[in-house]
Amino acid sequence: MRLSILLVGAIGLGWAPLSARAQETVFTAETGPLPGLVDDATRLDQASAEARFDALIGLLEARGLSYEVQTFPNRRAAESGPAQGRNVSVVIGTGDEEIVVGAHADAAQLGDGSFSHAMVDNAAAVAVLVRIAATLPRFAVRHRVRVVFFDLEELNLLGSEYMVTTLDADRVAAMINLDIAGYGDTVIYGPAAGPGNGAVYRAVAQACADGGHPCLEFDQFPQSDDRSFQAAGIPNVSLGILTSVEAHQLWLMLNGGPNSGLAERFVPPILRTIHTQADTADRLDPEGMTLAYNILMALILKLDRPTP
């Protein structure tokens, strides 16, 4: 199925001059897997936070993307992690209002001091966002779109917590978070229980319908960087990709209550993978990652040009 969204206007990439490529008016969804997505994600499989950061910068530079690095103090440094964290942003467009699109790039530290391979959580989403940042300059967006790779999410959202203090919340139209996007055929999104997000959730539902994507809305949803934006009063949504079975298992666990129908002490496979040494590149599926790319591109452009 091919997906089209009508756009008009002008765009610039970062601090570069107005791009001659910023003239496309139609986004066409990918009908087959985007090449190289798994390879890009695998480059982030590093033994240290420093090497993982260097791999992220290498991905951006390989795509010719301008970026800025925002350092911030790690207020939990006495417990874990480096003295400073580093958020990395790619800015597309020059509008007065921003759309923030984020994914955390750090890996969970395990009990023995080593790091998870962190391929599903969250290198896959990073690889998808790098492609988003490389694609958006072709479109004439009205907003300034800030694609952000957050640091220290695994230390309780420290990177996004800091970033929102540097933004003018009144000038941020929406925040889209992508976390867990390594494989699957179903888009999951939430937490719908958060107030003030009606327009964003309607845009997600419309993007799902237009693209013919199976989508499952959660009232309760796993915590990620969207919560920092919710706390600042910025409209937001968090998305992920799972197989249909795992998506519904996770929904029942988080939203089904005592009558969920799940076996006692059942834990969906995704929660037995992330934050472990089992979160490896063999779990990644380029078709699922491409689904994340398609839904995210459609959603960004719908939020950029909302229909009345």
Alpha-carbon Rg for the chain, nearest whole angstrom, is 18
Residue-wise pLDDT tens digits, 121-133: 999 999 999 999 9
37-304 topology per CATH: Aminopeptidase (3.40.630)
CA distances from 28 to 244, 274, 298, 299 (A): 24, 32, 9, 13
Are 150 and 162 spatial neighbours (Cβ–Cβ below 8 Å)?
A: no
Are 251 and 218 spatial neighbours (Cβ–Cβ below 8 Å)?
A: yes
Query: What is the maximum span of the chain, computed from C-alpha positions, in angstroms?
Result: 59
Output the DSSP codes for 242-308: E-HHHHHHHHHHHHSGGGS-PPTT---HHHHHTTSTT--GGG--HHHHHHHHHHHHHHHHHHHS---
Count of alpha carbons within 13 angstroms of residue 223, beta-carbon side: 11
State which H helix or E strand residue 51 sits in. Answer: helix 49-62
Q: What is the spatial distance between Cα 307 and Cα 209, in angstroms, rounded to a whole number? A: 15
Residue the block writes with tokens 């002008």:
10
Beta strands in the chain (DSSP E): 68-73, 84-92, 98-104, 144-150, 172-178, 186-190, 215-217, 236-242
Q: What is the spatial distance between Cα 134 and Cα 22, in angstroms, rounded to a whole number? A: 12
* pLDDT digits (tens), the chain, 308 positions: 333 333 333 223 333 344 445 567 678 999 999 999 999 999 999 999 999 999 999 999 999 999 999 999 999 999 999 999 999 999 999 999 999 999 999 999 999 999 999 999 999 999 999 999 999 999 999 999 999 999 999 999 999 999 999 999 999 999 999 999 999 999 999 999 989 999 999 999 999 999 999 999 999 999 999 999 999 999 999 999 999 999 999 999 999 998 899 998 899 999 999 999 999 999 999 999 999 999 999 999 999 998 76
Residue-wise pLDDT tens digits, 7-39: 333 223 333 344 445 567 678 999 999 999 999
